[in-house]
Structure 1
Amino acid sequence: MQTAVEAVVFDLGNVLIRWHPHAAIAREVGPEQASAFLAAEDFDFLVWNSRQDAGRGWAEAEALAVASHPHWERAIRAYRRHYEHSLLGPIEDTVTVLEELHGHGIPLFALTNWSAELFPHARERFGFLDLFEDIVVSGDEGVAKPDPRIFATLARRAGRDLAACVFIDDSPRNVAAAREAGMDAIHFTDTGHLRGDLRRRGLPLAPA
């Protein structure tokens, strides 16, 4: 028998907010160099960035990266300097789902891998973030998905059994970790399926 849903938990990046580092880096080094940097075999941008999501400060991160990869210094520093351009805008269909759930009084939470220093950019720009009762930001907690400790933090902050929460994330690793933590988790691949996935769980959304 399916547990009644008490709350819905959203990831933010590429679920509610389109994000890609290329636009920020290209502001300083141009699109071709930005693409080369992000595809570089000698520097893994996503792994490096994930350390900031887990709490490392940006000044330290940039200093270490520039020391080990001085030929990429402009691209490394460009990302944070022009960070607002990496936030490409809301994913409107998902925002509509969020707003409908809020309108029906469904408790809403967010669990996001995001640098504590950079998350204020999203707070200032996207008013729909105010619909969440709480947002767990990995950079503030010093631990990021898929580490099970951040799901324990979510349970404490939400004040609910994770088995009664539905989690939505675009990362298969994070979805698997959420399920391991006891959550019902939806792998978000596009906006087309999400409304139906939530309706099948008994949530009061209009048909597509």
Structure 2
Amino acid sequence: MADKIDHIVFDIGKVLIHYDPNLPFSRIIPDAEERKWFFQNVCTHDWNLEQDRGRKWEDAEALLIAQYPEREEHIRAFRKYWPEMVSHSYDDSVAIMLGLIDKGHDVTMLTNFAADTFVEARRMYPFLNATRGITVSGEIGLIKPDVAIYERHAKDFGLTPENSIFIDDTMVNVEGARAAGWKAVQFTGAEKLKQDLIAHGIDV
């Protein structure tokens, strides 16, 4: 018989809230080709990920400004206009999560997020305070898909990996959870999520 799921763990970005740096930057750098170059060479995904790992924004900005002094204003704009990047919540996903809590399921969150921007996100989206707790990568210096962050989350919240299911939009993070012994599904939309949870025996 399959293991009974008694813990449900949600990722946040692109599962519960939208994230897109182009939202403010389409105004800041109107030219699409220049904007693409900027994200590929200056404020890159990997650069931003280090803030998720715990690097301070001042240090991150200083590093890039030293390399691209002529881009200082654009580099500082990334943090300055960050709230615009998380423009809305995915209300159908949020409804599923809150519904699970209402039905008595044990729900937590595990996210790659810079510590200070997460404080802002919690103010913007109160449902981020609804679960039993959250592991924020920037607060503990570990990031998905490192197996260590899943192990830390399980330890901190008393989870049994084989009885836990993780929901993330990024396949590599799903695979990280599976490598830690968890069940895990890739989020592609609320309806599919509902089906996946039901398939794992969860009352949605």
With normalisation by structure 1, the TM-score equals 0.92
The aligned counterpart of 1:9 is 9
- C-alpha contact (below 8 Å) 1:65/1:76 kept by paired residues: yes
The aligned counterpart of 1:36 is 34
Measure how far apart 1:38 and its partner are. Answer: 4.1
Deviates more, 1:67-76 or 1:54-63: 67-76
Aligned partner of 2:23: which letter?
A: A
- C-alpha contact (below 8 Å) 2:16/2:94 kept by paired residues: yes
Unpaired runs of 5+ residues, structure 2, are: none
The aligned counterpart of 1:147 is 146
- C-alpha contact (below 8 Å) 1:6/1:106 kept by paired residues: yes
> In the alignment, does 2:56 pair up with 1:23?
no
3-state DSSP class of the match of 1:17? coil
Measure how far apart 1:204 and its partner are. Answer: 1.1
Measure how far apart 1:195 and its partner are. Answer: 0.5
Aligned partner of 2:25: which letter?
A: I
**Alignment: residue pair count:** 203
Q: 1:55 to 1:154 in 2, by over 3 A?
A: same
> In the alignment, does 2:103 pair up with 1:104?
yes
Counterparts of 1:115 and 1:171, CA distance in 2: 18
Within 5 Å, give how 1:4-153 maps onto structure 2.
4-27=4-27, 29-32=28-31, 36-40=34-38, 41-43=40-42, 45-153=44-152
Aligned partner of 2:19: which letter?
A: W
- C-alpha contact (below 8 Å) 1:38/1:45 kept by paired residues: no
- C-alpha contact (below 8 Å) 1:109/1:135 kept by paired residues: yes
Unpaired runs of 5+ residues, structure 1, are: none
- C-alpha contact (below 8 Å) 1:54/1:144 kept by paired residues: yes
3-state DSSP class of the match of 1:118? helix
Measure how far apart 1:130 and its partner are. Answer: 2.0
Measure how far apart 1:190 and its partner are. Answer: 2.0
The sequence identity of aligned pairs, in percent, is 34
Counterparts of 1:121 and 1:31, CA distance in 2: 26
With normalisation by structure 2, the TM-score equals 0.94
Measure how far apart 1:32 and its partner are. Answer: 2.6
Counterparts of 2:22 and 2:4, CA distance in 1: 41
3-state DSSP class of the match of 2:181? coil
- C-alpha contact (below 8 Å) 1:172/1:187 kept by paired residues: yes
Measure how far apart 1:12 and its partner are. Answer: 0.1
Aligned partner of 1:124: which letter?
A: R
Residues 113-172 of structure 1 deviation map (CA, whole Å, 9 limit, x = unaligned): 000011111110111112210110000011110111111110111101111111000111
The aligned counterpart of 1:163 is 162
